[in-house]
Every structure is written in C-alpha cells, then in structure tokens.
C-alpha cells in the first residue's frame, strides 16, 4: 500500500543528502554567515561537532518572520525565478541547509537586525519550533546545532572517531576561510582556540592556514581573459609534498573538486616535480555563472562547465606563464655561441659518406634501439657452457601439511631472484614463487602486531632532529597516530601548531627519507578503504607494512633472500598479505608436466 511519509521522516531522509557528518553542518552554517554579509565569523565545536556546532556572525540578522521561516524546506532568499539559478553568486541558495539541520539535531537560533531593539531566540526539535522569545544580543546571528543525529542513532553510529571528524571540520573551515580572506575567522574546539585569522590578503591567509614555510615559496598566478579570470597562488616545486590536501580550486569563490582541472595543474608542473608529489595551489576561477552548473551535487562541490576544455587550457597556460615569469621553469637559449657556430661540423654540409659512417657507429646503434641508450657492452661474453653455474641449487624442501602447501626450511639454502621481484623456493613436489614485497608486508605486519603486545620495535635516534610541517587537517591525524607510531619505532614530538620534530625512527630505517615517508604514510592512510570498519591501530599497521616493505624491482642478495624466506615461514599466516593478496604461489611437478605435455 502506497502512503505519504510524515513530514518529520521525509525531512530526515532529505537531510541525509545535505548533512552527512558534523563538517557538513559547518560548511552550511559558515556559508550562510558569509551570505549574511558578516565581517567576523566564529566557529565553535565540541566533541568534534557531535555535541555542538555553533556559528556566530555579525551579519545583517533576520526579523522574526524570517527566523521562523528559515527552517522550512526550500525556504530561500536567493531564488525568485528559475532563471535565477543561472546567475547565482551567493554560497547557499537551495533553502535546505537549516531545514536539514533542524531535522537531525536540536537547534538554537539567535538573530537580530541593526534596526531592532531586541533579537529573537528560537529552539527547534524534530523540525518543530518548541520555544520562541526575545533576547538581548548584538546585531548578527548565532546558530547552535546540538546533539547531531540524536533522533537517528543508526546514522550517528556511522560517524568516525573524533580525530577523523575534526579533520573534516578543519578542512571545511579552511576552504571557507581561504575563499574570504577579507573576513575575520576564529575556530574554537573543546574550549581551545585553534585559529584566529585576521582579515588580510589571500597570500597572508594562505600562510596563516597552511604554514609559515610558504612565506617566500608562493608564486602569484594572474590571467585575465574575456572568457574567465584566473588568480591565486601556486607553491614553488621544492614545496611539493607526497600528501594531498593543499590543493584548492574555487569557482566564483565556491570550493570545488575537479580531477580534470587538477590534471591541468599537474601538466603545467610537468618535469618540475618528483614522482608522486603534489604542489600546493590555491586558484580562483571567475567566470559568468551562465557558463556552469553548480547544482549537480547536494554539497555543490562538483560542478559542470559549459566548455571544460577551454577552462583546462586556460588553467594550464596561466600556471606555466606564472612559473616562467618567476624563473621557476627552465628556459632555452636559442642563440648559439659564436665559437660553436664556427665549428666545421656546423658549417660544413653533410655527405652520404658521413651519414653512413654515423649509422654504423656503436653510439648511433645504442641511441636508435629501445632501452639501449645507456647500455655498455661487456668486453667478454659468458660462455653458454657455464650456464649450470647460474642455476639454483635444487635442494629438496620437505612439505609440511599437504593441505596448507607450506614449506619447512632446513639448513642453508640458495635461492634465485627473478625479475628483481620473485624468489624461487624449491620444494619436495615442485617450487614456489614468493613475491618479495607481498612477503615483507606480511612479515612487517606481524612484527607490528607483536609490538603492540610485548615486543616494541627498536628505535634509533636521529642524528639531528628532523622538522615536519603538515597541514592543519594532517596535524589532527598525526596527533591521533602518534602513540601507535611510537610503538613501531617513530618518536614524534609536537613542536608547535602544525609542526613536529622527528627524534627517532625504527632501527634500520633508511636515513634521509624520513619526512617523505611520513608524508606518504599520511597519504596512504587517508586513502585507506574507509568501507572497512577497522580500529585505527589495525589500519595503521597495515599501512605501515605496505609502505616499509621492500618494493618489487629491488635486487636482493643471497643473505637478504634467505632472511626474507625464513621470516615469512615463521609468520602465523605466511600465505597472504594483510590485505588478503597471496604472498606465494606453488607450482607442482604434475602441473609442470602438463604444460610440457608429459
């Protein structure tokens, strides 16, 4: 039987599109404060927003009628006709933010206009106004969202840890604060001030939010065309990091996510960045609202351009121009030196004889054959008669437990490495191929598990303290990870906000790679499959094992192969990685005989 849902249930379902976590409410409330013309905005959160998210502004405020109406669904002051959708310059416009918040939380609204003697206090629960009275206050608006999802406990259970939710809140705060550097922003969490951002220029705001290391490392981007304007800053190549999170696109002052435009930026930095590094950029694209659609996603962070190829080309060109202007990109001198121009090889014409001689030369042969440019031929070639000396020692490894296909190692063995990736391990009934990276992921993972019980990983002190600068969101994540990192050998101490000192690393850690490793660890952890409901410790152990394992393509000597194979078979589960991938594959004699039709 078909029935109409009650309003309070319909509102809760609709709210799920807009308010997915505390950070969603932070975004909506901050945007409303900006649209109200505020010059000072304060964000207050308790319990990572689960118990309180409050935004206080000095904007124009509302009268009583608007205060009552703003919690109704689709109530907006921004849209009067359908044509208005194509000329939007404000942040919020669909009239769902406050209605969605009121459907899933207890809300207290205080608001006052400059011309009114007193303000208005309203309390809302289950989308219904439960209290209404005058209140003494300054001009502006305060919206307090309390006990998020109090009436939808199943959804509340899906919220992440406080550190994870706080990281999302800081990300939303950062995006709004970057978009409006002329506004004073403050952020208080659990009665502690995290940020106080004075009004200033965009460059000052970037340094305030992302760190003082960028003070002299920002390159200005400015391109004005008839179609669009691009402005902002990119970081110099030496500031690029292995972690994402300091890449910001704004279209008409609205933060957006666009892998397509990110590709344009990466192309502009081509050949200037180390592999798997990401540059900082804060870029604003301003164009006619009719050239884009910003209402394709509930969070309005994904938009469609009428002609995205033009925008791509302009972004790429603008950054290349900025980097060249500040002498960041290399330049080519097309003027040949006079002494070079006088050389006979330049002045004399080529002949058939010289062309033939060039083609027959070893140098020409190497550079015209694929992958031969750096090959050096040996002076003597190995005789094919000695091939037996290079084959593995075929010692029988007695199999243990027929059904488990495990191997037992007795005495010293010789192993062969194939393609700098696989280790051949002979057995009584054939052989196994061990993937060296997969094997060490399992070995390290089990070591880390033991470290959390009774075998902490040995730490070696760094010769000199190493400073690590991170974004505000990553700082929250590092604070949560610090204790577990110490168990596995990393000694990390907070020096100041967003700045840490690395005092020690696990024994045997490669020196000079510490900062890069921590950055890549953060990046790997952030991109970890969030669908797996695993404790932080378990996620971190798996991530650490993956990052520290010897990689495929690395040559191992005989001793290293013996140690790796021995350590693998000492593991509780030597057959799979922590992520469920195989560490080894066994090939039995019967299977091999079939391949040769024997």
Count Cβ atoms below 10 Å from residue 386 Cβ, excluding itself. Answer: 8
The CATH number of the domain covering residues in 7-200: 3.30.565.10
- pLDDT tens readout for residues 182-213: 999 999 999 999 999 999 999 999 999 988 88
- Half-sphere exposure (CA, 13 Å, Cβ side) for 312? 15
- Total residue length of the chain: 598
The pLDDT, as a whole number, for residue 62 is 93
- Based on its alpha-carbon atoms, the radius of gyration of the chain, rounded to whole angstroms, reads 31
The pLDDT, as a whole number, for residue 464 is 84
Q: Are 214 and 235 in contact (CB under 8 A)?
A: yes
Q: How far apart are CA 29 and CA 555, in angstroms?
A: 56
Q: How far apart are CA 438 and CA 155, in angstroms?
A: 37
The pLDDT, as a whole number, for residue 33 is 94
Give DSSP secondary structure letters for 319-360. HHHHHHHTT-S-----S--HHHHTSHHHHSPP-HHHHHHHHH
Q: How far apart are CA 418 and CA 242, in angstroms?
A: 30
Q: How far apart are CA 74 and CA 373, in angstroms?
A: 66
Q: How far apart are CA 236 and CA 348, in angstroms?
A: 44
Q: Domain 434-598 maps to which CATH number in 3.30.1370.100, 1.10.8.100, 3.60.15.10, 3.40.710.10? A: 3.30.1370.100
Strand partners, 192: 189
CATH 3.30.230.10 domain extents, the chain: 203-325
- pLDDT tens readout for residues 490-544: 898 888 878 899 998 888 777 778 888 888 788 877 766 554 567 778 888 888 8
Q: Are 584 and 439 in contact (CB under 8 A)?
A: yes
Q: How far apart are CA 124 and CA 132, in angstroms?
A: 9
Dihedral angle, C-alpha 244, 250, 254, 259, nearest 10 °: -50
Contacts of 289 (CB under 8 A, 6+ apart): 86, 87, 88, 89, 252
Which of 439, 433, 443, 436 minimizes the C-alpha distance to 392?
433
Segments in the chain below pLDDT 50? 79-82, 84-87, 93-95, 296-297, 331-346, 363, 367, 371, 373-406, 408-411, 531
Q: Are 56 and 198 in contact (CB under 8 A)?
A: no
Inter-axis angle of helices 514-526 and 536-548, to 10 degrees?
130
Strand partners, 435: 422
Q: Does domain 203-325 fall into CATH 3.30.230.10?
A: yes
- According to the 3-state scheme, what is the secondary structure of 400-461? ECCCCCEECCCCCCCCEEECCCEEEEEECCEEEEEEHHHHHHHHHHHHHHHHCCCCCCCEEE
Q: How far apart are CA 38 and CA 49, in angstroms?
A: 22
The pLDDT, as a whole number, for residue 381 is 39
């Amino acid at each position: 039987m078909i029935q109409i849902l009650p309003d309070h249930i319909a509102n809760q379902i609709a709210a799920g599109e807009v308010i997915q976590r505390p950070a969603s409410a932070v975004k909506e409330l901050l945007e409303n404060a900006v649209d109200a013309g505020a010059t000072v905005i304060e964000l207050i959160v308790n319990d990572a927003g689960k118990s309180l998210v409050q935004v206080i502004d000095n904007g124009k405020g509302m009268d009583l009628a608007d205060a009552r109406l703003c919690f109704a669904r689709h109530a907006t002051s921004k849209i009067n006709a359908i044509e208005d959708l194509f000329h939007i310059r404000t942040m919020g416009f669909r009239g769902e933010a406050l209605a969605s918040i009121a459907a899933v939380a207890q809300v207290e609204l205080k608001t006052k206009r400059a011309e009114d003697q007193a303000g208005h206090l309203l309390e809302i629960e289950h989308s219904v106004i439960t209290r209404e009275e005058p209140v003494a206050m300054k001009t502006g608006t305060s919206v307090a969202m309390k006990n998020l999802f109090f009436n939808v406990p199943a959804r509340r259970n899906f919220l992440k840890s406080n550190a994870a939710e706080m990281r999302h809140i800081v990300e939303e705060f950062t995006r709004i604060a970057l978009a409006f550097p002329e506004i004073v922003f403050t952020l208080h969490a659990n009665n502690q001030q995290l940020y106080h951002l004075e009004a200033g220029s965009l460059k000052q705001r970037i340094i305030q939010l992302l760190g003082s290391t960028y003070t002299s490392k920002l390159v200005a981007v400015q391109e004005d065309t008839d179609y669009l304007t691009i402005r902002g800053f990119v970081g110099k190549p030496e500031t690029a990091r292995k972690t994402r999170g300091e890449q910001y696109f704004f279209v008409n002052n609205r933060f957006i996510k666009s892998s397509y435009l990110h590709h344009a930026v990466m192309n502009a930095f081509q050949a200037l960045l180390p592999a798997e590094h990401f540059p900082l950029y804060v870029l604003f694209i301003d164009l006619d609202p009719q050239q884009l659609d910003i209402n394709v996603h509930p969070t309005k962070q994904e938009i469609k351009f009428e002609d995205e190829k033009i925008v791509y080309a302009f972004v790429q060109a603008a950054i290349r121009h900025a980097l060249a202007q500040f002498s960041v990109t290399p330049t080519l001198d097309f003027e040949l030196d006079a002494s070079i121009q006088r050389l006979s090889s330049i002045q004399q014409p080529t002949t058939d004889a010289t062309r033939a001689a060039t083609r027959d030369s070893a140098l020409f042969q190497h550079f015209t054959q694929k992958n031969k440019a750096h090959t050096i031929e040996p002076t003597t070639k190995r005789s094919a008669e000695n091939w037996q000396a290079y084959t593995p020692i075929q010692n029988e490894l007695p199999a243990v437990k027929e059904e488990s296909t495990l191997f037992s190692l007795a005495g010293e063995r010789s192993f062969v490495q194939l393609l700098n990736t696989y280790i051949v391990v002979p057995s009584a009934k054939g052989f196994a191929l061990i993937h060296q990276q997969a094997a060490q992921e399992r070995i390290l993972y089990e070591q880390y598990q033991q470290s959390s019980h009774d075998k902490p990983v040995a730490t070696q002190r760094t010769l000199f303290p190493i400073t690590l600068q991170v974004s505000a969101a990553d700082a929250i994540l590092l604070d949560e990870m610090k204790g577990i990192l110490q168990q596995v050998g990393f000694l990390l101490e907070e020096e100041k906000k967003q700045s840490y000192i690395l005092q020690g690393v696990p024994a045997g850690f490669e020196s000079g790679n510490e900062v890069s490793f921590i950055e890549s660890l953060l990046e790997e952890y952030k991109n970890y499959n969030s669908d797996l409901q695993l404790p932080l410790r378990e996620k971190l152990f798996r991530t650490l094992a993956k990052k520290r394992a010897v990689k495929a393509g690395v040559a191992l000597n005989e001793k290293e192969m013996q140690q790796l194979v021995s350590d693998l078979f000492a593991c509780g589960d030597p057959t799979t990685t922590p992520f469920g991938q195989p560490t080894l594959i066994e090939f039995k004699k019967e299977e091999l005989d079939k391949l040769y039709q024997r």
